[in-house]
Chain A
Amino acid sequence: MDFVIALLGATLRIFTPILLAALGETLIERAGILNLGIEGTMLLSAFSGFVVAQLSGSLWLGLSAALLTGILLCVFMGLLSVTLGLNQHVAGLGITLLASGLALFSFRILYGGSSTPPSLERSFAQLALFKGTALEPIFSQYGITYIALLLVPILGWLLMHTSFGLRLRSVGENPEAADIAGLNVYWVRYQALIVGGALMGLAGAYLSLAQLGAFTHGMVNGRGWVAIAIVIFGNWQPSKVFYGALLFGFLQALQLRLQAQGIPLPYEALLALPYIITIIILALAGRNASYPAALLKAYRREGA
């Protein structure tokens, strides 16, 4: 039982940044943009959050810096892919490469190549729910985890039951029709990028300001790509994205536990599983996959 409790607690810790990033990517993809900048956006957000928190001594300033970084990078993605109408995947990759380069370059400038990475004196504290019950070890999590959990129903509602969500979906499905209906396609896409970018920034902040209290080179380590897979796994719906992130968190937590107990198992197989499942899902769904119809397509007004 202790094993299961510890496993579930670890699952939530691992799943939080993935869930946040995947929710952000969901919004952005629903508006018609595949943002491959996600991996670099998380890393640079984690970095800027760490630096600001370290220099100012305020975690809240650090958190704000991380959110702002996420938003700025996604707005930059918008400049390239929405305003200029550039190839989305190449632009996204460019942002990932640039943001990662900037983070690592600046980190080296500020802290040198010291072998002991600097860490924050204080990182965000954990918030225990269900105190004194058997559930306490599961729900001793950082505040950001609870925010992420709350965001699942909120974003689901926002996307499906508000006019904001309707606008967002319509520019991702049929931008021409949305334009004729009087929507500003560009601006709606920017709105999705801003909200999504804040979520990616929050994911980065979770890594550096809560979980680790430090910044390291391989901190994001493919979590952005996992998030992209999970968006597909979750069929572009926040509730199903939640299950996808949960499954990934669980597999990863299981892998760590088994490894810690010295059980010889190619744990990489568990790590690769979410990717393989996603590809199988795509293959099974095939032509019927419910991609946002305008994903990867830049919208150009006639004559513009």
Chain B
Amino acid sequence: MLRLERGSAPLWLRALLPIAAVLITFLLVSLAIWAAGANPLDVFYEMLIKPLSKRTSRLEILVQATPLILTGVAVTYAFAAGYYNIGAEGQLYAGALMGALVGPKLTSVPAFFAIIVMLLAGFLGGVLWALIPALLKVRLKVDEVVTTLLLNSVIVFFISALLNGVWRDPISGWPRSPAIAESAQFPSIISRSRVHLGFILAVLALLSLWWVLKRTRFGLELRASGLGKEAARFMGVPVAKTMLTAALISGGIAGLAGVSEVAGVHYYLIDGLSPGYGYTGIIVATFGGLQALGVAIAGLFLALVDTGALSASRALGIPAYLGDIVQATLLIVTLAVLLLNRYRIVRSKPMRKAP
């Protein structure tokens, strides 16, 4: 007789879970496609296979993956420490804002320095926006879920005030920030493509995540406070300090995602710069199992879903919102499937009644 027992799942099962999650997700999503009157297989082909067959769309996936990997890494740092930062979206905008403020002033600075200044500005913006809820959490025990969530809206309003106020172009009326200096623009790293320096940044962020979590004392303390604050405290982990640091690193990397969109893609700040990358980062981190390799795969996969949804909408007339449905379903299914991670399937004799 098979029975579920508490305990960590064997390795082979843990490796199979994400695959199972993807399969269940596409099974569920095919219901939506079928209801919309299309053939799910055609749609999945357009969405998942076709974009991989052409150089341009393969590279476009890397452009899309850049902010998703960065926010995914950002969220992972926080979640792994048990700090539920729902504010990556706001921290991304804070980084973008700092980049847009600094960028136009860098006209007479050599590109190398201009880009370093941009990166520092973006990181700092994210850190500052993450500082408020993080301090409230460790000093006053104010739950971070709600504060980080609400601060997302606050910064979007603030940026909207700038865009519709001092930044509004007096002639064209466009609500957008002044263009950043040419020297501050992220260079393209692959010829004839939109892939920019931000992608290297994303790779470095992934490496930092791997190294910190696996190779440093801080990473050990971070994971310990994520697994259980009381136990971590008992083992001598400075839980408050660890969480604060993790929250700020998380904010900083989300800020880098913002500045990378400004300096690598648009060259100015616009309304709707992020179509919810901060929230997608939560999906990337969760599906990625809160570890570097997983986040890398998850970021690329969700970028493929995004790009593929667009091309499927062009080719088959299926609304591109299908991509959002796939991503949200994947999040929920992953959460549910991860439950199995906590159990072991054991073969056992029928339980005897307790005496």
Binding site for B on A (CB under 8 A): 34, 36, 80, 84-87, 89-91, 93-95, 97-98, 100-102, 104-106, 108-109, 222, 225, 228-229, 232, 266-269, 271-272, 275-276, 278-279, 282-283, 286-287, 289, 291, 296
Given A108-B321, A268-B161, A94:B149 Cβ within 8 A: no
Q: Which of B46-54, B94-102, B326-334 contacts A (4 or more CB under 8 A)?
A: B326-334
Contact B151 A286 (CB under 8 A): no
Contact A286 B140 (CB under 8 A): yes
In the bound complex, residues from chain B placing their C-beta under 8 Å from that of A271 are 157
Contact A86 B147 (CB under 8 A): no
Q: Is the interface of A mostly helix, strand, loop or mixed?
A: helix
Q: Name the contact of B150 in the complex, choosing from A225, A291, A296 (C-beta under 8 A).
A: A225
Given A34-B145, A232-B146, A266-B165, A93:B140 Cβ within 8 A: no
Of all A-B residue pairs in the complex, the 8 with the closest CB atoms, nearest first, are A101-B324, A97-B328, A98-B328, A108-B319, A286-B140, A268-B161, A105-B321, A268-B157
Contact A105 B335 (CB under 8 A): no
Given A89-B86, A105-B321, A279:B328 Cβ within 8 A: no
Given A86-B339, A225-B149, A282:B321 Cβ within 8 A: no
In the bound complex, residues from chain A placing their C-beta under 8 Å from that of B189 are none
Q: Name the contact of A282 in the complex, choosing from B142, B279, B319 (C-beta under 8 A).
A: B142
Contact B328 A87 (CB under 8 A): no
Name the residue on B nearest A271 (C-beta).
Answer: B157
CA A87 to CA B145, docked complex, whole Å: 12
Contact B145 A296 (CB under 8 A): yes
CA A95 to CA B325, docked complex, whole Å: 10
Contact B160 A91 (CB under 8 A): no
Write out, one digit per residue, whether chain B residues 128-143 have a CB within 8 A of any chain A CB (1) or not (0).
0000100010001111
Q: Is the interface of B mostly helix, strand, loop or mixed?
A: helix
Name the residue on B nearest A267 (C-beta).
Answer: B161
CA A108 to CA B150, docked complex, whole Å: 29
Given A36-B86, A94-B331, list of 18 further CB < 8 A pairs? A34-B145, A86-B335, A97-B324, A98-B331, A102-B32, A104-B319, A104-B321, A104-B324, A105-B32, A105-B324, A105-B325, A109-B37, A225-B149, A268-B160, A269-B157, A276-B154, A282-B136, A296-B143
In the bound complex, residues from chain A placing their C-beta under 8 Å from that of B331 are 90, 93-94, 97-98
In the bound complex, residues from chain A placing their C-beta under 8 Å from that of B146 are 34, 228-229, 232, 278, 282
CA A106 to CA B37, docked complex, whole Å: 11
- In angstroms, how far is the closest chain A Cβ from the Cβ of B105? 23
In the bound complex, residues from chain A placing their C-beta under 8 Å from that of B147 are 279, 282
A-B contact pairs, 29 of them (CB 8 A): A34-B145, A84-B339, A86-B335, A89-B145, A90-B282, A90-B335, A91-B332, A91-B335, A93-B86, A93-B282, A94-B328, A95-B332, A98-B331, A98-B332, A101-B327, A104-B321, A108-B319, A109-B36, A109-B319, A222-B153, A228-B149, A268-B160, A268-B161, A272-B154, A272-B158, A276-B154, A279-B150, A287-B140, A289-B142
Contact B154 A80 (CB under 8 A): no
Name the residue on A nearest B150 (C-beta).
Answer: A275
CA A85 to CA B165, docked complex, whole Å: 46
Write out, one digit per residue, whether chain B residues 309-351 have a CB within 8 A of any chain A CB (1) or not (0).
0000000000101101101110110011001000000000000
Q: Name the contact of B336 in the complex, choosing from A84, A105, A279, A286 (C-beta under 8 A).
A: A84
- In angstroms, how far is the closest chain B Cβ from the Cβ of A154? 26
CA A218 to CA B48, docked complex, whole Å: 29
Interface residues on B, range: 35 or more
CA A282 to CA B165, docked complex, whole Å: 30
Write out, one digit per residue, whether chain B residues 241-271 have a CB within 8 A of any chain A CB (1) or not (0).
0000000000000000000000000000000
- In angstroms, how far is the closest chain A Cβ from the Cβ of B272? 11
Contact A102 B325 (CB under 8 A): yes
- In angstroms, how far is the closest chain B Cβ from the Cβ of A265? 10
CA A86 to CA B329, docked complex, whole Å: 15
In the bound complex, residues from chain B placing their C-beta under 8 Å from that of A279 are 132, 136, 147, 150-151
In the bound complex, residues from chain B placing their C-beta under 8 Å from that of A278 are 146, 150
In the bound complex, residues from chain A placing their C-beta under 8 Å from that of B286 are 90
- In angstroms, how far is the closest chain B Cβ from the Cβ of A220? 13
Contact B151 A275 (CB under 8 A): yes
Contact A283 B149 (CB under 8 A): no
B84 within 8 A of A: yes
- In angstroms, how far is the closest chain A Cβ from the Cβ of B115? 31
Within 8 A of A (CB), among B160-198: 160-161, 164-165
Contact A98 B329 (CB under 8 A): yes
- In angstroms, how far is the closest chain B Cβ from the Cβ of A134? 35
In the bound complex, residues from chain B placing their C-beta under 8 Å from that of A267 are 161
CA A64 to CA B282, docked complex, whole Å: 34
Write out, one digit per residue, whether chain B residues 77-113 have a CB within 8 A of any chain A CB (1) or not (0).
0000000101000000000000000000000000000
